[in-house]
Structure 1
Amino acid sequence: VFADRLQRLGTENAFKLGDHIARVQADGRTVVKLNMGEPDFDAPIHVAAEAKTQIDNGNGHYCPPAGLESLRKAIARQVSETRGLEVDFRRVVVHPGGKPSIAYTMLAYVNPGDEVIYPSPGFPIYESWVTFVGAKTVPMRLRESD
């Protein structure tokens, strides 16, 4: 019933560590968590207040699929100014985090059996998606000296 690739769907390594971290913390040890891209502090008060204001003003619904035009223009401007690239906002697409764009890229460009080179250590989702699309993982080991 399910696609064959579903057999390759596993748990991302960053999440596998969660239970172990919880056990270590329960033993009273301090843990600096580097497995997830989640800060160990709350959003700044002004950011939380603005989010609440936007929701109160009715801005908590779907936006255009590519993202809000004002945000896309701001991103294009920032990339143009900081990277020396001319970026047209119409070519900017906003995603809710990095994982969807990595997934779409893998699905669009990688075929079963392809080899995909990715940095290691790096974003754990690279290895997960390479495996999911049936490609061969080729971690590029990063050296501390680099």
Structure 2
Amino acid sequence: MSYLPLDEYQRKWIFTHHSMPVSEQDLESIKPMTQARSSQLWKENISAHSPDAERLSSSDWPMKETNWKETLDWMVSWESDHDALPIGVEEFLDWQDDVTIYFCYEKYNVIETKWSVFKRYWKNFLFYDDGPILIGRRRKEALWFDSKGNVKLGWRK
């Protein structure tokens, strides 16, 4: 089994909080991965040795400045009453709604969903903003969020 039932996910509340509820249909599309599957995906796509964004090594692709095109402010959009992604993010990614994405909090905590679901509920995902990285299946583009309210737009290389 590659996924945990959402009810068993330690951070389930970020998707069921009364102030920012996720529809029942979309909750079914939010799939926390088991620790083993998360670890495998992290090792293959983020870092073979570092367990989280704070401890990435200089050889890991996210640490190479040349992989990043620009940095945008996501906090202003997160704090607004509008649900839209920060200006520039959707234009940069330009993905179809059915693209599978992985929101990687750290080595043992990865969520799989669809790009359309992430776009609707990105604020929920960012209740925890300690360096998560968003990647898409078979896509080179990536987003790296930080707790200072910035998101880097770039490519996995």
**TM-score normalised over the length of structure 2:** 0.23
Q: Choose 1 or 2 for highest CA Rg.
A: 1
Q: Which structure features the higher share of strand residues?
A: 2
**TM-score normalised over the length of structure 1:** 0.24
